[in-house]
Structure 1
Amino acid sequence: MLHRLWRRGTDFLGCRYALLGGAMTWVSERNLVAAISNAGGFGVIACGAMEPDRLAEEIEATRALTDRPFGVNLILMHPRLDRLIDVCADFGTSHVVLAGGLPSRATLAKLKDGGARTLCFAPNRGIAARLVRAGADALILEGSEAGGHIGAVSTLVLAQEILPAVTDVPVFIAGGIGHGEAIAAFLRMGASGCQLGTRFACAEESIAHPAFKQAFLRASARDAVPSAQIDPAFKVIPVRALANAATRRFAETQVEVIGRYRRGELDHEAASLEIEHFWAGALRRAVIEGDVEGGSLMAGQSVGLVTAVEPCATIVQDLVAQASAACARALPPAAR
């Protein structure tokens, strides 16, 4: 039954299991991406701030590690987006996930002209419909339970709002998913598959620092909290991460900087930049250098379900077994 439920997703992605690896900057590179794809899922390279030559190198290196399909995540605000799209076309990238905004029709058309299928994030029903009209080949609904930059609406609410309304393209669900039971539930609601990030961050193949992984293993769902905004006049884009010394310092920094602004020592632009730049380099410090107190430990609320450092193949097989068992329990006794 499981394979029937996510058949649309597996056909779209070209993989055995409709499980996408969420694109995590510094984490979702060649080793983890290839491992997820080799395990039957669908790995996605996190391009982030990579320059075109660096992305080309990463795609080529990933291809050396797997002959299975994988995708590339591009950030729409990247200043060299058009050239990154050219790189994807040059390498025959089959799927591109677009994040960080709403893509234009021209961007979607250029990607599709280059041979890629496009996946876009939809934060509500209206934008979902708009993206489909603009040419998106599939949608990802990511709820506020996810790690990193988040929206305001939970995964379950987004699924209830959008899945019944959008049937023209495959829809994948993300945010707070760490167990096969949830995967099965969303598939029964009409999803074509699911995306997981936090669960894969602690995979054996993840290059994340051992201290970073240990922080995940110690954490509970309550430890993964959105970044605080002290004053509405100074916008803070919400990012969900494990609370640590840096998150506490961020709140203190906002109070200090806003105080200087109120006293006329800084103008609004300068104060905003100081707040915005607080986290510069913080994710790399945590993921690569292992600074778990001074860095940013981006994690979704599913972090409480991460209990061991395991190979990607084990993680995927556990999820599939759990989802299969959940699907079987949903059948009437006579059909089991």
Structure 2
Amino acid sequence: MSEYPETRRLMARGAEFLGSDWAIMCGAMSWVSERNLVAAISNAGAFGVIACGAMTPELLDVEIAGTRALTGKPFAVNLITMHPQLFDLIEVCARHEVGHVVLAGGIPPKGSVEAIKAFGAKVIVFAPTLALARKLLRSGGDALVIEGMEAGGHIGPVSTSVLAQEFLPALGREHVVFVAGGIGRGEAIAGYLEMGACGVQLGTRFACATESIAHPDFKKAFFRASARDAVTSVQVDPRLPVIPVRALRNKGTEAFSAKQREVAGLLDGEGIEMAEAQLQIEHYWAGALRRAVIDGDVENGSLMAGQSVGMVKEEEPVAQIVASLLAESEAALTGRRAA
């Protein structure tokens, strides 16, 4: 009998799709989801995802090679659809024969899905609405992540529980669907698996793992935080549609409002186009994240975190986190069957 048999049974399709032991993806967190954490997650039987973020093709090339040196297990690369060198990044993934590519941050541009599938990789997409999800899956997406507003980083306006109720009955039987946003314990994983998900994605739970290179002060900020400390950014100018970001409240969240006003002023003066304005916002977050994650500037940097941050209380090895999640999921599933 396999360990955690009920969880394994419900994750079987997702695990087969990913090529991992367990259908537990790590959300792509810029500066955090790099080779050390990604390899540790894949080596633990889950599924690591490199966060490309604002990397150049040259940096991504080095990161994939570095990850391969640490693990022989499958992992994915997460690419931001608005990246100006998206197709060059896809070419890097092709050279390394990456098995899975996640397209995030917007609707994939024309030809991007086809370029990924051309070298045999599987495409994982995000969709905020059921209609768009169906369209992306028809257009070549091999799997879907539905992510609720409880998640950290860039988020949509709808909660995970509502999205799951809407998407899973409609898509769960025929498609591979992962649920993300606010998941911090195995009991939640069990619930979404029973609803029809093939697996889950967690980010915040892994951000403070022992193998995470995040600065000690970044991790301490997580340990001190409660769910209500993870707040969403405010849109200052309606003409500048920026995707809300969930992070721990600090001076950096206030600085983002000032950055929006600065970019809006450039738009007023017709100094930049809308696409460039949005790219400047994305670069702002990349820099703010680096200040927090790498430099440990927890006052002025961006402490992107989901509302599950209140469940992160100490530094743990990735293997222990995965084992705890699986044990909690299995206990919940078997408990309900015994009742």
TM-score by length of 1: 0.91
**Gap change, CA 1:254 and 1:295, over 3 Å in 2:** closer
Counterpart check, 1:142 vs 2:147: yes
Aligned to 2:174, which of 157, 168, 179?
Answer: 168
Match of 2:26 in 1: 21
User: Which 5+ residue runs of structure 1 have no aligned equivalent?
Assistant: none
Aligned in 2, Cα 1:327/1:248: closer, same or farther, shift over 3 Å?
Answer: same
- Distance in 1 between the 2:71 and 2:107 partners? 31
With over 3 angstroms needed to count, the CA separation of the structure-2 counterparts of 1:255 and 1:79, relative to structure 1, is closer
Letter in 2 for 1:206: S
**Aligned-pair distance for 1:78?**
1.3
Query: For residue 210 of structure 2, what is the amino acid of its counterpart?
Result: E
Percent identical among aligned pairs is 60
Matches within 5 A, 1:318-333: 318-333=324-339
Secondary structure in 1 matching 2:113: helix
Q: Provide the residue aligned with 1:202 in structure 2.
A: 208
Instruction: Answer yes or no: is the 8 Å Cα contact 1:104–1:134 preserved in 2.
Output: no
Q: CA, structure 1 residues 203+269, in 2 after alignment: closer, same or farther (shift >3 Å)?
A: farther
Distance 1:266 1:195 in 2: 36
Corresponding position: 1:63 with 2:68: yes
After TM superposition, the structure 1 stretch with the greater mean CA deviation from structure 2, 240-249 or 147-156, is 240-249
2:3 corresponds to: none
The structure number with the bigger radius of gyration is 1
Amino acid at match of 2:332: A
Q: Give the aligned residue type for 1:67.
A: G
- SS of equivalent residue, structure 1 residue 77: coil
Alignment RMSD: 2.3
**The one of 38, 45, 70 aligned to 1:40:** 45
Q: Secondary structure at the match of 2:21?
A: coil
Asked if 1 retains the 8 angstrom alpha-carbon contact of 2:41 and 2:47, the reply is yes
Alignment partner of 1:54: what SS?
A: helix
Specify the alignment match of 1:302 in structure 2. 308
Match of 1:291 among 270, 294, 297: 297
1:156–1:269: structure 2 CA closer, same or farther, 3 Å change rule?
farther
How many residues align structurally?
328
Q: Is the 8 A contact 1:202 1:308 kept in 2?
A: yes
CA distance in 2, matches of 1:128, 1:279: 26
Range moving further from structure 2, 73-82 or 202-211: 73-82
Give how far 1:106 is off.
Answer: 2.4
For residue 281 of structure 1, the aligned residue among 275, 278, 287 is 287
Q: SS at the partner of 1:153? A: coil
- What is the alpha-carbon distance in structure 1 between the residues aligned to residue 239 and residue 81 of structure 2? 26
Give, in whole Å, the separation in 2 of the partners of 1:257 and 1:97.
31
What letter is aligned with 1:221?
A: A
CA 305–22 in structure 1, closer or farther in 2 if over 3 Å, else same: same
d(CA) in 2 for partners of 1:81, 1:157: 32
CA shift in 2, pair 1:31/1:278, >3 Å: closer
- 3-state SS of paired residue (2:175): coil
Q: Which residue of 2 aligns with 1:124?
A: 129
Secondary structure at the counterpart of residue 168 of structure 1: coil
Q: 1:74 aligns with which of 74, 79, 91?
A: 79
After TM superposition, the structure 1 = structure 2 runs for residues 236-251 of structure 1, keeping only pairs within 5 Å, are 236-251=242-257
2:113/2:141 contact within 8 Å kept = yes
**Aligned 8 A contact 2:124 2:144 in 1:** yes
Indicate if the aligned counterparts of 1:105 and 1:135 stay in contact, CA closer than 8 A: no
Helix, strand or coil at the partner of 2:170: coil
Q: TM-score, normalised by structure 2?
A: 0.91
When structure 1 is superposed on structure 2, of 181-190 and 89-98 the one drifting more is: 89-98
SS at match of 2:201: strand
The answer for the alignment partner of 1:267 in structure 2 is 268
- Bigger mean CA offset, 127-136 vs 223-232: 223-232
Match of 1:111 in 2: 116
Where does the alignment leave 5 or more consecutive residues of structure 2 unmatched? Answer: 1-5
Paired amino acid for 2:217: A
Q: 1:228·1:236 contact (CA, 8 Å) conserved in 2?
A: no
C-alpha displacement of 1:268: 5.6
